[in-house]
């Protein structure tokens, strides 16, 4: 395991400087420790096909140790098996479980889609959140899962079919135009936006941060604004939007939400979510309302994540 100093040396210098500009030194040390090594394998049961009780029984029979997750009864942390070993299990091959980071399960839980609702997943591949929402909705209602990239869209279709998420329709369009096509159409929208992925960096895996740059961050923030505008257009008045990223900076998070509140017909809604490694959002231009957003700090079980909940004004 690397020391915090060694992690600093490995990660992009400007990224580390940005962390110190945003967080306290104690919090930065926590974040850098969380970006240190490998994360535990985490998964959720697909309760359209299986139950958490059946899953735990099966894992015990296979001598696979696990830990329950405080905020989600359907999720487990695997303690003594690799991702590949889990993928070799019959329960994985049959779509009874889905490998997914715990942090990426949080946005769908906060959106909380109900059976019978119409939901848009604007940038949906590979389908973890899409199939999670279908399970939460008990396969009742409708989900439009959109993905621009054709290869990723094929993966999305495969996962939707494998998980038995029958209420999902897959779309291969530019996310920015979906709002124009489906104006005021959905009860809820999930926008897990393409981002710089800072919360998923691993110091020992250069692939996770090789392409990071300030320029890329700026380009992504422009795309995020376009996608969020599309999400607002697509949702009904009073409907809910959850915006999330797996990155740590303000430019792709609070500043995007601040822009949306100022320029679009939305207000921010408080998120009630208890977790030790969750902190509130940061102010932008002394706007305290942005503290209603949350940021998940990375550790051995969680990727770094940002989540904000918005409501469209009438």
Q: What is the mean pLDDT of residues 47-72?
A: 97
- Residues paired with 202 in a beta bridge: 205
- The mean of the pLDDT values for the chain is 97
Report the 10 Å Cβ neighbour count for 228.
Answer: 28
Distance of CA 29 to the CA centre of its chain: 23
Given a cut of 90, is residue 201 above it in pLDDT? yes
Structural domain span for residue 193: 102-312
Q: What is the mean pLDDT of residues 177-206?
A: 97
Number of domains, the chain: 1
CATH code of residue 199 = 3.40.50.150
- Is residue 156 one of the residues assigned to a domain? yes
Given a cut of 90, is residue 167 above it in pLDDT? yes
> Is the Cβ–Cβ distance between 123 and 152 less than 8 Å?
no
Catalytic residue among 11, 246, 257, 310: 246
Given a cut of 90, is residue 274 above it in pLDDT? no
- Is residue 269 one of the residues assigned to a domain? yes
Given a cut of 90, is residue 1 above it in pLDDT? no
| pLDDT > 70 fraction of the chain, expressed in percent and rounded | 100
Nearest to 212 by CA among 225, 226, 199: 199
- Is residue 61 one of the residues assigned to a domain? no
Which phi and psi (to 5°) does residue 286 adopt? 60, 25
- Is residue 195 one of the residues assigned to a domain? yes
pLDDT at res. 18? 97
- Is residue 108 one of the residues assigned to a domain? yes
Given a cut of 90, is residue 176 above it in pLDDT? yes
153 catalytic per annotation: no
C-beta contacts of 284-289 below 8 A and 24+ residues apart: 284/250, 284/254, 284/255, 284/258, 285/258, 287/258, 287/261, 289/261
- Is residue 124 one of the residues assigned to a domain? yes
For residue 102, the surrounding DSSP H or E stretch is helix 102-111
pLDDT at res. 37? 78
CA atoms within 13 A on the CB side of 165: 31
- Is residue 253 one of the residues assigned to a domain? yes
Residues 6 or more apart whose CB falls under 8 angstroms from that of 275 comprise 70, 71, 296
Nearest to 188 by CA among 144, 158, 244, 220: 144
Q: What pLDDT band is residue 38 in, cutting at 50, 70 and 90?
A: confident
- Is residue 55 one of the residues assigned to a domain? no
């Amino acid at each position: 395991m690397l020391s915090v100093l060694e992690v600093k040396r490995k990660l992009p210098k400007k990224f580390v400087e940005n962390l110190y500009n945003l967080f306290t030194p104690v919090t930065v040390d926590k974040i850098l420790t969380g970006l240190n090594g490998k994360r535990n394998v985490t998964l959720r049961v697909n309760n359209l096909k299986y139950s958490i009780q059946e899953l735990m029984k099966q894992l015990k029979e296979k001598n696979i140790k696990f830990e329950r997750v405080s905020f989600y009864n359907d999720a487990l942390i695997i303690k003594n098996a690799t991702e590949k070993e889990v993928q070799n299990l019959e329960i994985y091959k049959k779509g009874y479980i889905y490998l997914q980071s715990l942090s990426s399960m949080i946005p769908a839980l906060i959106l909380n889609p109900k059976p019978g609702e119409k939901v848009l997943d604007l940038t949906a591949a590979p389908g973890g959140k899409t199939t999670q929402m279908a399970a939460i909705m008990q396969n009742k209602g409708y989900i439009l899962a959109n993905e621009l990239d054709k290869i990723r869209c094929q993966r999305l279709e495969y996962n939707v079919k494998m998980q038995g998420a029958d209420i999902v329709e897959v779309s291969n369009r530019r996310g920015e135009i979906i709002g124009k096509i489906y104006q005021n159409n959905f009860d809820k929208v999930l926008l897990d936006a393409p981002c710089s992925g800072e919360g998923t960096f691993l110091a020992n895996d250069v692939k996770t941060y090789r392409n990071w740059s300030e320029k890329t961050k700026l380009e992504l923030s422009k795309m995020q604004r376009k996608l969020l505008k599309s999400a607002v257009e697509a949702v009904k008045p009073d409907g809910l939007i959850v915006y999330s990223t797996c990155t740590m900076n303000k430019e792709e998070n609070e500043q995007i939400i601040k822009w949306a509140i100022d320029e679009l017909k939305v207000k921010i809604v408080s998120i009630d979510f208890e977790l030790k490694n969750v902190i509130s959002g940061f102010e932008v231009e002394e706007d305290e309302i942005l503290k209603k957003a949350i940021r998940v700090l990375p550790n051995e079980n969680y990727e770094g994540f940002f989540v904000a909940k918005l409501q469209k004004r009438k």
